[in-house]
Structure 1
Amino acid sequence: MTSASTPRDLRAQLDSLPTEAFRPELAEIDQLPTLDIARLMNGEDASVPAAVASRLPDIAAAIDAIAERMARGGRLIYAGAGTAGRLGVLDASECPPTFNTTPTQVVGLIAGGPDAMVTSVEGAEDSADLARADLDALALTPADSVVGISASGRTPYAIGAVEHACAQGALTIGLSCNPGSALASAAEHGIEIVVGPELLTGSTRLKAGTAQKIVLNMLSTITMIRLGKTYGNLMVDVRASNDKLRARSRRIVALATGADDAAIEHALTEAGGEVKTAILIVLADVDGATANALLAAADGHLRMALSAAGT
């Protein structure tokens, strides 16, 4: 378990972290022309993809483990504080419209609750007990996957979430931006994207935040691909909740089938607006009820349903 640190201990910890390191060569950055600062910042950001690339095997292993559990009805749960927590909530909130998941399938927990999305909640990130309480409120099961997110890799809330999830038998992933982090060590799958010191000393919303967003994009997106929520690179489980997404739904059916507008409208009507079902109706030349039965038998995988239909 994590333990309380004195101010001196905490300063020593921060002094030892690459993400917190001071860069003397940038000490006069505030004296530079704006364009020069922008060039420096852009150059810093350009180094992030390579740092992510070096950890792709770790990321892929975590994704396969998450997908296996989600296929059994488990949930993907992010837990973090500050920027890390906000990134987790953002990724979770984008899954329902993109992949037609329910709000309970991918969940973002942030230390201090919803108010912490826009304001700092005093002391929340320092509480492992708060993380345990937040997870207990979700009635965690061994089928669930919990991703602790922390740039430093030492945030008690993130570590507490991973430790508690591990004790409950859930899959655990620790995402940090420092090597040898306590968070990665506590998790079954440690993912450490080492991006080095920030342009502004200790401002881990910069490179570290960008790295975390890239990894979270991979965790959720590739997991959903593995779960059959895409057909090729088409978002066939997109939820058509506004005019733009309704237009996108029609376009996806058109790209997948090559059908004309009349056939697409008929299929979408027959499918109740469900893109995946509409594609199956067109390509397999079946009605809505048959398409739904084929998809159910294939656990929602369109390619499998098409194969079963002899297409």
Structure 2
Amino acid sequence: MAETRTEAIHQNAEGLDVQAPDTILSFLANAQIEAAKAVHGAIPAIAEAAELIATQLKSGGKLAYAAAGSSGLMAVADALELPGTFGIARDRIIILIAGGDEAFRTLAGGPEDDTEEAAAAVANADIGKGDCLIAVSASGSTPYAVQAIGDARRRGAATIAVANNKDAPLFGEADVAVLLETPPELIAGSTRMGAGTAQKIALNMLSTLAAIHLGHVHDGYMVNLAADNIKLRDRAVRMVAAITGRSRNEAARLLEESGGGVKTAILLAAGAANADAAEKILEGAGQKLRPALSAIEGSKRR
């Protein structure tokens, strides 16, 4: 197997084990920073991928993540946040990780080579036309990820590949290829470090931009959040108060009237007759709060 960038030796690796602790930690920190910079070169691809995700979700499709090992953990971290942060239904976010649930306890290496498991996972999740699958692999050649994205594509799904080596086999199965050209790892091949950091940043960017396209963000507020604990319920009140200029007590009342929906509460404050009317306005505005508010203001002037 030819050496890839993710398996290459870092320029500061020689003698690393005999360096002073502060020096080692400085090398480690700098390596993470350099890896993070690699994301800038992928911005056009990330933008294209985010639009693809938003299109599929808006049409009622599912969003699946497929990965193994530390790349799988990065994918899982992104996927699990989407329902709470952006209110995307949990049954529309699919996680395919090599080794299944056991991976969260052991993260054994063997399952990443199991192409039969990957094929079964894609089939069992019924990934196909109208859906989108993101495959993540630092090497870009992990058999589980390559099989999953290939099967998803053959079944008609839109596909996105995120990898840290150019010419990765994963890219051959992708509608959108996101290349994160991170430097070699300070510990050769330990892609949980630099490559993983870049993957996490890229996935954050990807899912956040997709959520913006879907109308789940207004200014810097997550206006489609699922407020299911004390912290998030308080955040919802603060958002409604900040956007509408109403008091916290009034914001809480509006949220109660809206059934907890932040956007609906804001439209009630803006003049929507009731929650049902507010939701119809939102639907007409593509679930985007800004044009929905403009629609209410326009109706007042008529």
| TM-score after normalising by structure 2 | 0.94
1:117 to 100, 104, 114: 104
Q: Deviations over 1:133-163 (max 9, x none)?
A: 1011111221111111100011011110111
Q: Is the 8 A contact 2:36 2:194 kept in 1?
A: no
Give the counterpart of 1:161 among 142, 145, 148.
148
- Matched residue, 1:223: 210
Aligned with 1:198 (options 185, 193, 196):
185
Q: 1:25 to 1:273 in 2, by over 3 A?
A: closer
Judge conservation of contact 2:160–2:175 (CA < 8 Å) in 1: yes
Task: Give the superposition deviation at 1:118.
Answer: 2.4
Q: 2:168 aligns with which of 161, 165, 181?
A: 181
Q: Does 1:260 align with 2:247?
A: yes
- 1:23 CA displacement: 3.5
**Residue 204 of structure 1: how far off its partner (Å):** 0.3
Structure-to-structure mapping, 1:60-99, within 5 angstroms: 60-99=47-86
Are residue 310 (structure 1) and residue 267 (structure 2) matched? no
Paired residue secondary structure (1:252): helix
Sequence identity of aligned pairs in percent?
Answer: 38
Q: How does 1:221-300 map to 2 (within 5 A)?
A: 221-300=208-287
Higher relative contact order (CA 8 A, sep 6+): 2
Secondary structure, aligned partner of 1:147: strand
Match of 1:31 in 2: 18
Matched-pair contact (CA < 8 Å) for 1:144–1:171: yes
Per the TM alignment, residue 111 of structure 1 is displaced from its structure 2 partner at its CA by 0.5
Counterpart-to-counterpart distance in 1, 2:188 and 2:78: 26
Moved more, 73-82 or 97-106: 97-106
Runs of 5+ consecutive residues of structure 2 not aligned to the other structure:
none
The residue type equivalent to 1:136 in the other structure is A
Tell me how far apart the structure 1 counterparts of residues 207 and 36 of structure 2 sit (CA, whole Å).
18
Residue 22 of structure 1: how far off its partner (Å)? 2.2
CA contact (8 A) 1:110 1:117 kept: no
Give 1:24 shift.
6.3
CA shift for structure 1 position 279 = 0.9
Of the three residues 57, 78, 93, the one matched with 2:44 is: 57
Partner SS, residue 47 of structure 1 = helix
Cα distance in 1 between the residues matched to 2:248 and 2:136:
45
Structure 1 runs, 4 residues or longer, greater than 6 Å off: none
For 1:261, the aligned partner's letter is R
Contact 1:89–1:107 (CA under 8 A) maintained in structure 2: no
Distance (Å, rounded) in 2 between the aligned partners of 1:108 and 1:297:
31
Q: Contact 1:284 / 1:306 at 8 angstroms: preserved in 2? A: no
**SS, match of residue 178 in structure 2:** strand
Q: Tell me which amino acid in the other structure corresponds to 1:243.
A: I
**Which residue number corresponds to residue 8 of structure 1?**
none
In structure 2, how many angstroms separate the alpha carbons of the residues matched to 1:25 and 1:243?
A: 47
Cα deviation 1:96-146 (Å, max 9, x = unaligned):
110111112222210110110220345211122211110111112211111
Q: Kindly provide the CA deviation profile for residues 159-200 of structure 1, in whole angstroms up to 9, marking residues without a partner as x.
A: 101110110111111110011111112212111101121011
The runs of 5 or more residues in structure 1 that have no matched partner are 1-11
Q: Distance in 2 between matches of 1:66 and 1:285?
A: 31
Counterpart residue number, 1:7: none
TM-score for the superposition, normalised by structure 1 = 0.92
Pick closer, same or farther for the CA change 1:24–1:289 going to 2, 3 Å.
closer
SS at match of 2:297: coil
- Structure 1, 34-43 or 115-124: larger mean CA deviation: 115-124
- Inter-partner Cα distance in structure 2 for 1:273 and 1:57: 36
Contact 1:90–1:108 (CA<8 Å) still a contact in 2?
no
- Determine if contact 2:69/2:109 at 8 Å carries over to the other structure: no
Size of the aligned set, in residue pairs, is: 298
Shift in CA distance, 31/164, structure 1 to aligned 2, threshold 3 Å = same
CA distance in 2, matches of 1:36, 1:90: 30
Distance 1:291 1:33, change over 3 A: same
